[in-house]
Amino acid sequence: MAVVPPSETAPAPLPRLPRFWGLAGRGDVELVDLYTRGSLHLVYWLLVAMGVVSAAAELDQQRDQAALAVVALVVGLAAHRAMTAAVALYPAWGPFPRRPVAVLLAVALPAAAWVLLLPDARSVGAAVLVAGMVAWGVGGLRDRRVQAAAVVGGGLFVGVAAGNPFTGVYGAAACAFFAFTVQSSLWLLGVVVELDRGRTSQAALAVAEERLRFSRDVHDVMGRHLSTIAVQAELAAALAERGDPRAPGRVREVRATAHEALREARELARGYRPLDLAQELEGAVALLGSAGIAATADLDGLPEAWHPPVARVVREAVTNVLRHSRATRVGIGYADGVLVVRNDGVAEGGAVAGGAGDGTGLATLADDVATLGARLDHERVGDEFVLRLRLAGDPRGEAR
């Protein structure tokens, strides 16, 4: 059996974050969301703290330094609340968080007036601090007019406080950078969310394509037999109407064809219909690749007699991966009489369980392969779900 390489369109599996601080149960998108929002809050307060230290160094009076700390805390909390309200809405366009923005403006205006009362040479750092906090606070809003007003207003305010229009340009650039930082972070989060939705849609499409393939198999099997039964039944009826002694024989042919159709339908439903293993592996890798899952398959050395049942196991395993896991990679291999299918997408709460009682799922599949002398088992190994099919005659026998 030739090796089936990963699909050229399938992305390489992404590295996983260490499982600490209760992050083990979170998906990749949830982790990106947590990282983005947490970074915005953390970076914001770090910049505020650095701005307070830098601006306080420009002031000679301890009274002014204490006042600056109070102003930074009050405006910082108001800006943080406005930013939190804006980020909570993302990626929605509304409703506009009027109250947090109004509170921010209500505390920013007196703070700006206080800054303007400071000496020109000493108010630049404080002015940039206040303007930057306001720009960061409204940076998460989807209203370009508000962001433009924050940037232009911040630049004018810094220029007036410093008494130098060129310093105002610096203030406007700083405000624009703060607003851009927030917007770009939220934009990247939105891209990740959309990509995840696309991956989910691709997985659903892959399952739908598999169902369509199965329906075509049903049509191929049942359509031919039903057409034969219809023609034979019409012929038998015509012979019976004429009293032809050949009529009973035709009726028996109809019955035989119906039994054959029923047998093939049962085989198709239970997966006993012979499958092309090479075609099944190629289709599995293609399906997984379309869902954004890197897949490899190497069944070199597998006895030919085991190709049909192994093809069915591969089909069931791939279906489970697409429906029940968050896998980024899947490996299908064979060695020493054991077929191993492993993926890194164990769902929260444990391994994926197969259905029972309906002819599908891992439980029924295990019963079916047991009649052939094989044994199917599965387990969770770390963050991997491992499925093993031990073929008859395995010299090692016991579980590895």
Which percentage of the chain shows pLDDT scores above 90? 8
pLDDT in tens, 22-74: 565 567 778 888 888 888 889 889 988 998 888 888 888 888 888 889 999 99
Place of tokens 């030919």: 304
pLDDT for residue 280: 81
pTM over 0.75: no
- The confidence score (pLDDT) of residue 94 equals 66
Amino acid identity of residue 110, one-letter, is P
Residue 326: the pLDDT is 79
Q: pLDDT tens digits for 67-102?
A: 889 999 999 899 989 888 888 877 666 677 888 888
How far, rounded to the nearest angstrom, does the alpha carbon of residue 327 sit from its chain's CA centroid?
Answer: 9
122 versus 346: the higher-pLDDT residue is: 346
pLDDT tens-digit readout, 171-217: 899 889 888 888 888 888 888 888 888 877 877 887 787 777 777 77
pLDDT bucket at 340, cuts 50 / 70 / 90: very high
Q: Is the pLDDT of residue 146 over 90?
A: no
Q: What is the bridge-based pairing of β-strands 329-335 and 375-381?
A: unpaired
Task: State the pLDDT at residue 352.
Answer: 44
Distances from the Cα of 251 to the Cα of 225, 238, 261, 297, 320, angstroms? 15, 11, 15, 49, 44
- Average per-residue pLDDT for the chain: 79
The model's pLDDT over 207-250, given as tens digits with 9 standing for 90+, comes to 787 777 777 777 766 776 777 788 778 888 888 888 888 888 88
- At residue 330, the pLDDT reads 92
Q: Residue 356's pLDDT is what?
A: 37
Q: Work out the average pLDDT over 142-154.
A: 83
The larger pLDDT score, comparing residue 132 to residue 14, is at: 132
Buried b (16+ CB within 10 A) or exposed e, 284-299: bbbbbbbbbbbbbbbb
pLDDT band for 332, please (50, 70, 90 cuts).
Answer: very high
Q: Is residue 272's pLDDT more than 60? A: no
Rounded to an integer, what distance in angstroms lies between the CA atom of residue 179 and that of residue 141? 9
Higher-scoring residue by pLDDT: 326, 300: 300
| Structure confidence at residue 348 (pLDDT) | 53
Domains, the chain, ordered by start: 28-193 (no CATH), 207-270 (1.20.5), 277-390 (3.30.565.10)
Residue 52, classified by CB atoms within 10 Å of its CB into exposed (0-12), middle (13-18) or buried (19+), is buried
Distance in Å from the first CA to the final CA of the chain? 24
- How large a percentage of the chain has pLDDT more than 70? 83
Of 147, 151, 172, 148, the residue nearest 83 (C-alpha): 147
Burial class for 333, CB neighbours closer than 10 Å (0-12, 13-18, 19+): middle
